[in-house]
Amino acid sequence: MNEERKEYWRWAESRWTNPEISDWQGRTITAGVDIGSTSTQAVILVDGELFAYSNMRTGSDSPESANHAMAWALEGTGMTLDDLQYTIGTGYGRVNVPFADKCITEITCHARGANRIYGPSVRTILDMGGQDCKAIHCDERGRVTSFMMNDKCAAGTGRGMEAIANLLGVDIGEIGDRSFQVEEEPKPVSSMCVVFAKAEVAALMRSGWSKEMVLAAYCRAMAIRVCKLLTRNKMEPDFAITGGIAKNKGVVKRIEEIMGVTALEPQGYDTQIAGALGAAIIAIDMLKKKRARGG
């Protein structure tokens, strides 16, 4: 008999269409596609307003991932690829968006996207991606004033958290809540490397630690690691977190505790679309420039 093994790391893919925008013809339509190492997002704006987006896992082929993400975002809207007037590709696979007019780095796009999601008061952004972590400083217009990233290893990234979810057999969406179900906060896991952290976690389980204790220890270790990056790049309120890990309360609350700040709330936005949203916003400026040049 063929049995399927559950994959606990699989986070939910999603799409959304704005029910308040039905008449988009004749209006300015721009898009952003963020191909990350782990997830891909496509965002469509109509006159600068969020119209539709999709958020899905990145496949092995970047152009195909971009096509799939955009096709899913467009699904059911009546809009087609030909209706997009300017599209910007961003993220790790930004040069592989077949229908993009321009590529811009994810650092610039995340800052601009966070400026929209969290408002102009945001100064420090922590983007916790699938395989890297970035501390970004920006001004009131969402223009980057400094950045620092670490993509040397998977510790402190979404991929690291996925590995722990699978190892412990805990759904990735439950990690945050369960990490608080401990009587006392345990010491963080000591290993910086995910491979060694997995070995350490296995040893802790064998020594009688509950899954909740291990999750608390791992979330704290991840928080400590990214807080070093934040401190090094200068931490200034208001502070916001983007990327998939922003959905993990276990990490977010511990970062807040260590840094002594409260992260801004995303006001209903999916924190994973920040990069693609920023790209679509920048596309509006690019489209204006293009039209001014007579293009």
Partner 1 sequence: MLANYGYEDASGTYYITIDTDMCAECTDHACVGSCPAGLYDIILDDYDDEVAEIREEQRNSLRTLCSGCKAGGKTDWPCTAACAAGAIRHSW
Q: Tell me how far, at minimum, the Cβ of 192 lies from partner 1, in Å.
A: 6
3-class DSSP state for residue 169? coil
Q: Tell me how far, at minimum, the Cβ of 265 lies from partner 1, in Å.
A: 27
Q: Tell me how far, at minimum, the Cβ of 234 lies from partner 1, in Å.
A: 9
Could you check whether the bond before residue 238 is cis, i.e. omega within 30 degrees of 0?
Answer: yes
With CB under 8 A, what is the number of residues at the site for partner 1? 21
Record the tokens describing residue 249, joined without a space: 């309360």
Decide whether 132 or 270 has the Cβ nearer to partner 1: 132
Say how far residue 200 (Cα) sits from the centre of its chain.
27
Provide CB contacts within 8 A for 191, sequence distance 6+. Answer: 155, 197, 199, 200, 221
Decide whether 108 or 242 has the Cβ nearer to partner 1: 108
Residue 65 touches partner 1, criterion: CB under 8 A = no
Selection from 158, 214, 207 nearest residue 190 by Cα: 214
- Exactly one of 104, 223, 235, 283 binds partner 1 (CB under 8 A); that residue is 104
Decide whether 179 or 233 has the Cβ nearer to partner 1: 233
Q: Tell me how far, at minimum, the Cβ of 214 lies from partner 1, in Å.
A: 21
3-class DSSP state for residue 237? coil
Strands 124-128 and 239-242: parallel
Residues numbered 218-237 forming contacts with partner 1, rule: CB under 8 A: 228-229, 232-233
- Exactly one of 18, 28, 85, 105 binds partner 1 (CB under 8 A); that residue is 105
∠ CA(171), CA(177), CA(183), 5° rounding?
120
- Exactly one of 182, 193, 205, 258 binds partner 1 (CB under 8 A); that residue is 193
Q: From the CA atom positions of the chain, what is the Rg in Å? A: 20
Provide CB contacts within 8 A for 105, sequence distance 6+. Answer: 90, 94
Binding flags for partner 1, 111-150, as an x/- string (CB under 8 A): --------------------------x-----xxxxxxxx
Residues numbered 149-188 forming contacts with partner 1, rule: CB under 8 A: 149-153
N-terminal to C-terminal alpha carbon distance within the chain: 61
Residues that bind partner 1 (CB under 8 A): 104-105, 108, 137, 143-153, 192-193, 228-229, 232-233
